[in-house]
Structure 1
């Protein structure tokens, strides 16, 4: 292999912790995620075009038979898809990505990503009340995870690359790179990292540019310039935030009700979701699909408030049923539609000189921020959709108020945490515990030790001649950690005329205070600290991929917490 090729390979596969390899990986992820999303969008538009014509989301033009039967047909197809898919590949969605980040070291299997691609196409094309952003995030994160695993990235860098995949997918699907970056850091990674911004931004802008070059300008929501008429409308903004917070609480309650329905069969739950959606669509066909045409019409103040109220009520039930009963799809697009309908109604009611479309736009952001606890991503969405910095002040006012009502007034958790809790997974939300749960012992592992099995013969002089500082001694089922200097000192104190075996020399040195715990798999720093609280041990032996067993000492863990060393 030539020298330039060797250097290029080392740049992507080596253990370098510099920023440049991560930025370059972010760009690669942006291109691959953009290609995947362009394929997904093209296939989805092909099916929607066949159903609805040039206006892809025009489910309202379907006959009553199609309105009723299409979601049920989609449920039947999903049931068949689940039947032919291995159980291990059936868990998908944004909540699954978060679960893999905290409990699965950021490893997203290819099978789950492929299943999400097919299941999302069926759900969205059949009019279920779900969105495309959840599947987009799963696919983008899956692509990033696979590339990270192929290049042997450590878990901390792997989760950063998943953030890149998330931002790339949102940017490619909605042409909103800023919202994609903030969503990745606020909702998925749940932290803001100076090092993380550069690769995530690189991934978002690469995906947006690459997707646009393939499918052209594809903004789903029509950009609209809206701004506050005057500061006398602030009371109306506060009222909008309060009402949107209450709508978010109601929606969360409905989702929990459907989650708790005593139906064990997945087929029964999917069929029930299809029947509920189909029956509601007979009266209110606007609830079918993601509803972007309805969102655009509301933003331009084309719909009366009474129709918005009817759509809001039906969409609340249909979306809660889809999410609670397990239809594979995203939650954000339905949230945006719920918010835009509620905000549009408020805009028609409250006094003031601001346009009703402004309240619809603010309601959309408030609903997203309150349900996902992602105020910055919601505000960024307003900024990119309104094309006006003047919308920032009212957006911050309404989003903050809605978050206070939902999160602190009624103590509602993020919808994603509710979905994970239903699956028996509790994510760490305390900042310190969350940080420790997202990093792994393998990232601190050292391989500078000699392993000695006392059941075999060893040359003591050869062991002491090695420059490695640590000795890992196996005796029966126990492991012990010893500094090479300690063994060397004990050897020098022996009578040179008296021959002793290695086992005899080590016997007085192998006490309980020098024990190691051997783990069968890598585990988080949080789990490691919990073990150290219970056990008086010197550290851990852990498997580290192809590198074999690695050593993590108690002192190394303490140094990690007290030094400025980066884990990336």
Structure 2
């Protein structure tokens, strides 16, 4: 994340002399030139890439988690890194948080794959990567943890909390070391919040405004998703033209920075219509993301909500209505309504401002915004809606989730590994074992046999020499292929979870399988034991 941040910001500071988000300080030619250059470069990249590498962002992370056991290809993350950096430097209205989530999740999944962890380990590290990425970009460790659960997993998972918290805290410390503290804006002007009738009336007006903006934000994207099959040159050219127009008349709408919001809070930003800027920023971000630019939406929604809150505060002339306070409330409400992540939005605002004064009014606007957007617009998270549009589920069913949280251990049975020709003394020692099954290899195939059958075959020596006796030098051995009736059995490597082995049973129609464990031992898994386990734990 520190590298991603440096790639975005350092070139702009070196060549232009300003931060990458301060586009309003540049000339019109520079602003329009950056926009067109970024769109052309992105179109060239996506034209030369195979279709499989076009899929990036938070919806892609959720898709890979639900349908591919969290396996995120490295090259998609590389494409996300490069293309998001180009879009951000070019002034397109996107955020860096979505790409950061993809990069963090890919790193977590890659490390889990290298360590050959079971499925719950893969999901844990993926959650660690997501939380660490958000924490590093915002320097908000608790919000990073909640984002991973509310937005990616769509549920709270207690068994993942400790490692995810650790990852989030360490990511924040590393971000502080490499980037320095990120002070987005100060709210020193808010000394206390008076919970008056005027305050809650203004909050309700803000809720209505935020709900309408969130609906506009999503439904604009839904319309544009229909054009996903259109050539990238057509789509990105349209984005370039619209963004260039904004660069001429409303340069504050460019990029993902908090400059306009900071200026509003400080009183330095004077514009003839703050309301118009909010609408333009909403539509421009929805248009850019909806037509396929690989960027995030979290940062822009913060800006949209903050400017909307400032607009509502200006409508009320009251000593209890602070512009800074309502900017914070707008940020929280817009994020919560757009992504259905109420606790993430609340904690992010508290951590970013180091203030607890906003908690009560923030809860009011967050809860109402989330409820109204669901009741009147039947709207889920933007990411969930995107997955639903392409025919994919945003979450897995309870049975799949339960199976993914367990390895084969609770449904397995220990198996002895024997040679096809075994010393009689070794066969006799099996009487002391409590293991019921043994396996041996013959002609590159594994065979399963009951331990008791081997002991019964050994007892037939009381009636004289047997056809399975083999004399090798001074050793007397039992040929297991002739002594007992065995059953050929398939061998597989240890699966990541019970979901994988259930799928194997369903695909093959077999009832038993031999599983090779990492310590070179074996265990036997049967469909019957798996069914019993599920019934017992219901």
TM over 0.5: yes
Partner of 2:226: 260
* Alignment check: 8 A CA contact 1:343 1:360 kept: yes
Partner of 1:152: 116
Which of 297, 308, 324 is equivalent to 1:342? 308
Partner of 1:81: 45
Partner of 1:230: 195
User: What is the CA distance between 1:375 and its match in structure 2?
Assistant: 0.6
Alignment of 1:88-127 (within 5 A): 88-127=52-91
More deviation, 380-389/248-257:
380-389
In the alignment, the residues of structure 2 paired with residue 464 and residue 86 of structure 1 have an alpha-carbon distance, to the nearest angstrom, of 62
Partner of 1:141: 105
User: What is the CA distance between 1:429 and its match in structure 2?
Assistant: 5.6
* Alignment check: 8 A CA contact 1:372 1:415 kept: yes
More deviation, 177-186/538-547:
538-547
In the alignment, the residues of structure 1 paired with residue 235 and residue 495 of structure 2 have an alpha-carbon distance, to the nearest angstrom, of 36
Partner of 1:184: 148
In the alignment, the residues of structure 2 paired with residue 387 and residue 116 of structure 1 have an alpha-carbon distance, to the nearest angstrom, of 32
* Alignment check: 8 A CA contact 2:128 2:168 kept: yes
The 1:154–1:262 alpha-carbon spacing in structure 2 relative to 1, beyond 3 Å, is closer
Q: Does 1:413 align with 2:374?
A: no
User: What is the CA distance between 1:92 and its match in structure 2?
Assistant: 2.1
* Alignment check: 8 A CA contact 2:494 2:518 kept: no
Which of 522, 526, 532 is equivalent to 1:553? 526
The 1:268–1:445 alpha-carbon spacing in structure 2 relative to 1, beyond 3 Å, is farther
Q: Which stretches in structure 1 are left out of the alignment for 5+ residues?
A: 1-36
2:357 partner SS:
helix
User: What is the CA distance between 1:552 and its match in structure 2?
Assistant: 3.8
The 1:487–1:389 alpha-carbon spacing in structure 2 relative to 1, beyond 3 Å, is farther
In the alignment, the residues of structure 2 paired with residue 471 and residue 221 of structure 1 have an alpha-carbon distance, to the nearest angstrom, of 68
More deviation, 199-208/376-385:
199-208
Partner of 1:6: none
Q: Does 1:287 align with 2:219?
A: no
TM-score by length of 1: 0.78
Q: Does 1:249 align with 2:215?
A: yes
In the alignment, the residues of structure 2 paired with residue 546 and residue 124 of structure 1 have an alpha-carbon distance, to the nearest angstrom, of 48
Alignment of 1:31-42 (within 5 A): 37-42=1-6
The 1:300–1:90 alpha-carbon spacing in structure 2 relative to 1, beyond 3 Å, is same
* 1:280-306 deviations in Å (ceiling 9; x for gaps): 332221121103111222344555685
Q: Does 1:381 align with 2:333?
A: no
Aligned length: 518
The 1:38–1:395 alpha-carbon spacing in structure 2 relative to 1, beyond 3 Å, is same
Partner of 1:400: 367
Alignment of 1:321-336 (within 5 A): 321-336=287-302
Which of 23, 28, 31 is equivalent to 1:67? 31
* 1:252-279 deviations in Å (ceiling 9; x for gaps): 1111111112643234333332233223
In the alignment, the residues of structure 1 paired with residue 228 and residue 338 of structure 2 have an alpha-carbon distance, to the nearest angstrom, of 25
* 1:167-224 deviations in Å (ceiling 9; x for gaps): 2222221221121121122222333333322222222222222221223223344455
In the alignment, the residues of structure 2 paired with residue 438 and residue 273 of structure 1 have an alpha-carbon distance, to the nearest angstrom, of 41
The 1:105–1:527 alpha-carbon spacing in structure 2 relative to 1, beyond 3 Å, is closer
In the alignment, the residues of structure 1 paired with residue 250 and residue 283 of structure 2 have an alpha-carbon distance, to the nearest angstrom, of 12
1:157 partner SS:
helix
User: What is the CA distance between 1:459 and its match in structure 2?
Assistant: 6.2
In the alignment, the residues of structure 2 paired with residue 86 and residue 550 of structure 1 have an alpha-carbon distance, to the nearest angstrom, of 42
Alignment of 1:488-507 (within 5 A): none
In the alignment, the residues of structure 2 paired with residue 521 and residue 91 of structure 1 have an alpha-carbon distance, to the nearest angstrom, of 30
* Alignment check: 8 A CA contact 1:57 1:289 kept: yes
1:203 partner SS:
helix
In the alignment, the residues of structure 1 paired with residue 428 and residue 247 of structure 2 have an alpha-carbon distance, to the nearest angstrom, of 79
User: What is the CA distance between 1:126 and its match in structure 2?
Assistant: 0.6
Which of 186, 196, 201 is equivalent to 2:160? 196
Alignment of 1:359-378 (within 5 A): 359-378=326-345
1:449 partner SS:
strand
In the alignment, the residues of structure 2 paired with residue 212 and residue 360 of structure 1 have an alpha-carbon distance, to the nearest angstrom, of 25
In the alignment, the residues of structure 1 paired with residue 423 and residue 104 of structure 2 have an alpha-carbon distance, to the nearest angstrom, of 53
When Rg is computed on C-alpha atoms for both structures, the one with the higher figure is: 2
In the alignment, the residues of structure 2 paired with residue 437 and residue 342 of structure 1 have an alpha-carbon distance, to the nearest angstrom, of 45
Q: Which stretches in structure 2 are left out of the alignment for 5+ residues?
A: 469-478
The 1:323–1:266 alpha-carbon spacing in structure 2 relative to 1, beyond 3 Å, is same
Q: RMSD over aligned Cα, in angstroms? A: 4.0
User: What is the CA distance between 1:89 and its match in structure 2?
Assistant: 4.0
The 1:46–1:99 alpha-carbon spacing in structure 2 relative to 1, beyond 3 Å, is same
In the alignment, the residues of structure 2 paired with residue 283 and residue 561 of structure 1 have an alpha-carbon distance, to the nearest angstrom, of 65
In the alignment, the residues of structure 2 paired with residue 276 and residue 517 of structure 1 have an alpha-carbon distance, to the nearest angstrom, of 60
Partner of 1:161: 125
* Alignment check: 8 A CA contact 1:336 1:367 kept: yes
1:448 partner SS:
strand
Partner of 1:48: 12
User: What is the CA distance between 1:365 and its match in structure 2?
Assistant: 0.9
TM-score by length of 2: 0.82
User: What is the CA distance between 1:401 and its match in structure 2?
Assistant: 0.6
* Alignment check: 8 A CA contact 1:442 1:544 kept: no
1:390 partner SS:
coil
In the alignment, the residues of structure 1 paired with residue 524 and residue 153 of structure 2 have an alpha-carbon distance, to the nearest angstrom, of 27
Partner of 1:57: 21
User: What is the CA distance between 1:395 and its match in structure 2?
Assistant: 0.7
The 1:381–1:41 alpha-carbon spacing in structure 2 relative to 1, beyond 3 Å, is same
